[in-house]
Structure 1
Amino acid sequence: MTEQSKLLYSTQSNDWGSVLMDRIIASDVAEFAKSHALDDLPENKQFEHFTSYITVRRHHARTFDTDDIVVGGNSEPSIDSIAIIVNGTLVTEPSTIDELIERNGYLEVNFVFGQADRGSHFDSSKMGTFGYGVEDFFRDEPTLPRGERVRLAAEIKDAIFDQGNKLRKKPTCRLYYATTGRWNEDQIPVARRDATVTAIESTQLFSSIDYHCYGSNELHDLYVRTKTAVTREFEFKERRSMPKPDGVKSAYIGYAPAAEFMKIISDDSGDDILGSIFDENVRDWQDYNAVNKEMRDTLQSPHRDRFALMNNGVTIITSRIGGAGDDLILENFQVVNGCQTSNVLFNERHEDLSKVFVPLRLIETEDEAVKQAIITATNRQTELTTEQLYALTDFSRQLEDTFKTYDEPVRLYYERRDGQYDRFPEINKTKIVVPRALVTAFAAMFLNDPTRVTRNYKTIRTKVGAEIFAKGHHIEPYYVAAYAAYRLAFLLRNKLKGDTGARFHILTALRYLLDSRPLPPMNRNEIKSRCEEMTKLLWDHAKSDELFAEASSIVHKVVEDQGLEFDRDNIRTEATTKGLLQHFGIRVADDRA
């Protein structure tokens, strides 16, 4: 048994099966830590990151950084992780709440809390402390001390409840208490769990509250799921084969029972809709506009059996259709048409839908040209500009393809579709670049906008297709931004601890330290050659680490010169951005803010 295995199981257990599973969990944690560049953390912190990741992935299929949700520390003994998922987005800044309201017109919120205990049994006292910590989190006047991470989560929580009239329903609240032992429904832990649920229910803040107690078996199972592509099995009896053009393996059209359709669109917990399967359907859920209200009214009426005759249906593109007979298995799939239908049906899932059928079209293809043709045709029905559509299809493909051409160890992976690299355990997960992270890093480094990427991201998002991801742009600036953000994330975990709130200002300063000259347009060959020079400096970690440290010192000085403490709120201001740019001799317009 390895030293890590010994640390991760308690000698109190004489059950060989438990010891064996402890070894498996130790192996899982070690693999996870390596793939997420957390090897240098103590084993207990690795276990916290591990459990927070696999439990939050039940509700959030998109790639995320556990540094954004792990809050555990000496000042937060009761809670190890807090994830706040709003409208399918893992929210890390209070300002995102206003952005989501503007984009969607509503809020749908899921709070997910975690506590990781490496012991081999469920300690009712610790379970109670965890539950009390969650209760205290929602108090207007908390009784427990709060570190910076918990204070930030509380600010997000307050931003949500301040917009309570925008809540489509009361939030959900999930608690996960994890150990390396086994959950046997023992009386005392069960009583402590149930008492916590009752106490949280008394706040009347939530539509549902779940307190899950997971042992080694459940943790291993959840971890295995995170490494596989999203698959769903359902019955599709009423179907007919469609003609198969070149590039299409199979295609079906027919009617699926609503209960079977729910299996496709629900997440692993069954409590939420699987938001990641709608990413290629560019039009977000539009809440209950006139059309969606009509669908809802139909499902709530005695004439709900007419639904299939009144609905245009759902189109799904999938990489593989498996199964036998009437039972089909979809793997790595996207709903490219039918986001509104899916959301209305999911919201009405508690109605009697036994006579409701959903018009459904399935297309099995791995031909990217075919996928893009269908997606583009579908999305042209939405109110998207040509530039935006290009950014979401062609340019994203260029990013994905070009990033993978770099040799190891400097190769990065642009994730066009959520979870597309989950099946590749050999890929270091810290090297996966998600769209929002690239947009923010690029805006900080090449648009001199480190404040808006956190305070007012919606203004940055409107630049996609014009100033960001624009037709004709060279890929090299995006790689520079992505690699710089990747390397900075490593340093924030190791050498620049405490600078997390300044990450985007550090990226801005870094760009001027790499190359202080004015930038040419992103479509000029000059930007390509200059970015290649920046890349060489970034790849030399000894040199680039010095530059990152210098960039950090400059940001510290700019904040301190304002007579302010170096904290997140004082860093992420237009005054700090202006002072930073002036440090490098850049004139900033007074109306910038």
Structure 2
Amino acid sequence: MDRIIQSYMEAFLKSQQIVEKDKSRKFEIFASYCAVENHYSETYNISDIIVGKGGDCGIDAIAIIINGTLITSKEEIDDILEMNKTFSDISFIFIQAKTSSNFDYGDMGTFGAGVKDVFSEQPQMVRNSSIAGKSAIVEYIFSKATYIKRKPTCYMYYITTGKWQDDINCTGRMNMAISDLKDLNLFDDVRYIPVDSSLLQKYYRSTIDAVETEIEFENKILLPDIKNVKQSYLGIISYKEYLKLIVGENGEIRKSVFYDNVRDFQGDNPVNHEVAETVCSDPQKFVLFNNGVTIICKKMTNIGKKFTLSDYQIVNGCQTSHVLYNHRDDIEHDLQIPIKLIETEDDETVNRIIKATNRQTEVSDEQLIALNEFHRKLEAFYGTFTGNDKLYYERRSKQYNYGSDIEKVRIVSIVTQIKSVASMFYDKPNLASRYYSRLLSSITGIFSEDHKMLPYYTCAFTLYRLEYLYRNKSLPSNYRKFRYHILMMIKYRLVDSKIPQMNSGEIEKICQTILKVVKNNNKLVELVTELVSIIDKYVDDINSTEPTKSSELVEKLKLELTM
């Protein structure tokens, strides 16, 4: 392993607070993260994709992404289908990572066979519980085949610390694996990607460097001075130049540049279908029919017609961008796109632009949740903690990713906040596997303006501490699936009185009691060990995920702890 990869890997492990002695295991985790970041750049727990251990079919990690969401349960699939009506974009990502300095065609073939076995109706290989869980999700997705608008794409990353040389034997094994998977007739495309040390370095750099793109923007007008805006332009841009903004070096659409907390791509709905018809059959009129896109960047420089945008977000135009990308092979390159380009770092201005531009289309209050004043206050409240108590509330996608050396596991996304508070203070751990907006709609009063901030921090901090103990093997990993139940149970075990309302001063006293325990490793391990013994009383198969979804189990645990 070269010194650069070693340095990157250690920096990554530190940012994830992962203490792992086994060199191969460390590399598997690091390499898997780098590969998945090509497709999914939101905050997530690395434990949700790692599957490598005995009976892993030669696979170290699996990520399943539907409509821009990393899927960890069947319930999320149901919720996405209910909200979007179709599966417009499905990606299956498989990773095998080796610390060796060469590409072994035998291992590459085994990896391909293992991936095929995951999709087999009659598997031939031994499967551990993680592989079995992912395979069950795969099977469930294909059971909804009538809702799949376009067949999935399958990606296989074989990663080593060596140099890729286009070896004929390795290439042959790759082609055989691709052919075997295509023969299943399940995929729109299958890609086998050999990743060497040089490419892996590039992947990792892309996870920590702000996205930066240079475009030619000739047909524009400079808008007058606007308060809190450094500069802004209105104009049209060619399709060829616009693709540079939305397509990464791997040829995939850049999910990270879309403000997806507002709205995911909605698939081939009537509006998007009309857009597709226009761009394919009458592209010259597209500029007349389309409202255009709005791009906000933190830094913008230009020399003549060349503009360099740094750390930018397309805050309105997600639907348009995906339609253009999906039909890129059918579009004439003289197609022009209306564009609004704004340079500002002022949060309030950004919020108002997002609200205004998205109100022109059907976007619900639920989808604009990140812009509520409560979340700005909560972000500031998180900022009052220091040292080991420090967490970072991420209102915006990748808010803390670029130019920052903070430990990534200390970042609390809105999704994590919703799941943790729903579990600890609303007694709904059984719903934590749901898609976050579906979970949100099931909770009355969450994020109310009169709520105390400390309960939100307390549940997120407790979850952070639990994840740390699971990640570093201080707690048995097979109970991690019950972490949301444990959040609720901790509250009931440590509080003798009736749980007060979220706007009560008494709730803060309860939070202080909880925090005092969870900050102490020994006390928290002792408490969780006691709580999992209670779970054991009511769960027959601790390796199954089905009990985690049971409302009956929630009631039994509550009764046990409040008797």
Aligned match for 1:572, one of 536, 542, 549? 549
Asked whether the 8 Å contact 1:104–1:286 carries over to 2, the reply is yes
Deviations 1:338-362 (A, max 9, x none): 2222222122111132121000001
Whether 1:236 aligns to 2:217 is yes
Instruction: Give the 5 Å matches for 1:556-571.
Output: 556-560=536-540, 564-565=541-542, 567-571=544-548
Asked whether the 8 Å contact 2:297–2:313 carries over to 1, the reply is yes
The corresponding residue for 1:203 is 184
Whether 1:25 aligns to 2:23 is no
What is the CA distance between 1:280 and its match in structure 2?
Answer: 6.0
Aligned match for 1:325, one of 273, 296, 304? 304
What is the CA distance between 1:526 and its match in structure 2?
Answer: 2.1
The corresponding residue for 2:113 is 132
Asked whether the 8 Å contact 2:246–2:321 carries over to 1, the reply is yes
SS of residue matched to 1:293 = helix
Aligned match for 2:171, one of 172, 186, 190? 190
Instruction: Give the 5 Å matches for 1:425-574.
Output: 425-454=404-433, 459-463=438-442, 466-493=444-471, 494-496=473-475, 497-560=477-540, 564-565=541-542, 567-574=544-551
Asked whether the 8 Å contact 2:64–2:92 carries over to 1, the reply is yes
Highest relative contact order (Cα 8 Å, sep 6+), 1 or 2?
A: 2
SS of residue matched to 2:337 = strand
Instruction: Name which of structure 1's ranges 511-520 and 427-436 shifts more when overlaid on structure 2.
Output: 511-520
Instruction: Name which of structure 1's ranges 495-504 and 241-250 shifts more when overlaid on structure 2.
Output: 495-504
Aligned match for 1:55, one of 18, 28, 35? 35
Whether 1:151 aligns to 2:159 is no
Task: From the superposition, tell whether residues 506 and 296 of structure 1 become closer, same or farther in structure 2 (CA, over 3 Å).
Answer: same
Deviations 1:299-324 (A, max 9, x none): 121x2111101111111111111353
Asked whether the 8 Å contact 2:261–2:397 carries over to 1, the reply is no
SS of residue matched to 1:276 = helix
What is the CA distance between 1:476 and its match in structure 2?
Answer: 0.6
Whether 1:94 aligns to 2:71 is no
Q: State the number of aligned residues.
A: 560
What is the TM-score of this pair, normalised by structure 1?
0.90
CA distance in 2, matches of 1:405, 1:44: 39
The corresponding residue for 2:393 is 414
Task: From the superposition, tell whether residues 288 and 455 of structure 1 become closer, same or farther in structure 2 (CA, over 3 Å).
Answer: closer
Task: From the superposition, tell whether residues 555 and 407 of structure 1 become closer, same or farther in structure 2 (CA, over 3 Å).
Answer: same
CA distance in 2, matches of 1:382, 1:514: 47
Asked whether the 8 Å contact 2:105–2:173 carries over to 1, the reply is yes
Task: From the superposition, tell whether residues 520 and 300 of structure 1 become closer, same or farther in structure 2 (CA, over 3 Å).
Answer: same
CA distance in 1, matches of 2:25, 2:286: 51
What is the CA distance between 1:391 and its match in structure 2?
Answer: 5.4
What is the CA distance between 1:173 and its match in structure 2?
Answer: 0.5
What is the CA distance between 1:566 and its match in structure 2?
Answer: 5.2
Q: 2:150 corresponds to which letter in structure 1?
A: K
CA distance in 2, matches of 1:313, 1:234: 17
Deviations 1:463-496 (A, max 9, x none): 46x4222222111111111011101111222122
Q: 2:43 corresponds to which letter in structure 1?
A: T
CA distance in 2, matches of 1:227, 1:340: 27
CA distance in 2, matches of 1:388, 1:297: 27
CA distance in 1, matches of 2:95, 2:284: 42
Asked whether the 8 Å contact 1:390–1:471 carries over to 2, the reply is no
Aligned match for 1:121, one of 69, 86, 102? 102
Instruction: Give the 5 Å matches for 1:305-320.
Output: 305-320=284-299
CA distance in 1, matches of 2:159, 2:331: 36
Asked whether the 8 Å contact 1:227–1:422 carries over to 2, the reply is yes
Task: From the superposition, tell whether residues 323 and 189 of structure 1 become closer, same or farther in structure 2 (CA, over 3 Å).
Answer: farther
CA distance in 2, matches of 1:391, 1:190: 46
Aligned match for 1:269, one of 250, 259, 278? 250
Task: From the superposition, tell whether residues 542 and 91 of structure 1 become closer, same or farther in structure 2 (CA, over 3 Å).
Answer: same
Q: 1:66 corresponds to which letter in structure 2?
A: I
CA distance in 1, matches of 2:164, 2:312: 34
CA distance in 2, matches of 1:372, 1:118: 45
CA distance in 1, matches of 2:232, 2:434: 45
Task: From the superposition, tell whether residues 240 and 380 of structure 1 become closer, same or farther in structure 2 (CA, over 3 Å).
Answer: same
Whether 1:214 aligns to 2:192 is no
Task: From the superposition, tell whether residues 423 and 339 of structure 1 become closer, same or farther in structure 2 (CA, over 3 Å).
Answer: closer
Asked whether the 8 Å contact 1:559–1:571 carries over to 2, the reply is no
What is the CA distance between 1:151 and its match in structure 2?
Answer: 1.0
Deviations 1:150-193 (A, max 9, x none): 11111111121111111120000000001110001111111111
Asked whether the 8 Å contact 2:229–2:342 carries over to 1, the reply is yes
Deviations 1:510-552 (A, max 9, x none): 1112324222221222222332332222223332232222222
Task: From the superposition, tell whether residues 170 and 435 of structure 1 become closer, same or farther in structure 2 (CA, over 3 Å).
Answer: same
Task: From the superposition, tell whether residues 172 and 67 of structure 1 become closer, same or farther in structure 2 (CA, over 3 Å).
Answer: same
CA distance in 1, matches of 2:407, 2:370: 26
Q: 1:360 corresponds to which letter in structure 2?
A: I
Whether 1:584 aligns to 2:538 is no
What is the CA distance between 1:567 and its match in structure 2?
Answer: 2.9
The corresponding residue for 2:339 is 360
Unmatched 5+ residue regions in structure 1? Answer: 1-8, 10-21, 587-593
CA distance in 2, matches of 1:544, 1:124: 47
Task: From the superposition, tell whether residues 208 and 528 of structure 1 become closer, same or farther in structure 2 (CA, over 3 Å).
Answer: same
The corresponding residue for 1:181 is 162
What is the TM-score of this pair, normalised by structure 2?
0.95
SS of residue matched to 1:255 = strand
Aligned match for 1:260, one of 241, 245, 248? 241
Task: From the superposition, tell whether residues 459 and 585 of structure 1 become closer, same or farther in structure 2 (CA, over 3 Å).
Answer: farther
SS of residue matched to 1:419 = coil
Task: From the superposition, tell whether residues 127 and 195 of structure 1 become closer, same or farther in structure 2 (CA, over 3 Å).
Answer: same
Task: From the superposition, tell whether residues 183 and 281 of structure 1 become closer, same or farther in structure 2 (CA, over 3 Å).
Answer: same
CA distance in 2, matches of 1:194, 1:423: 37
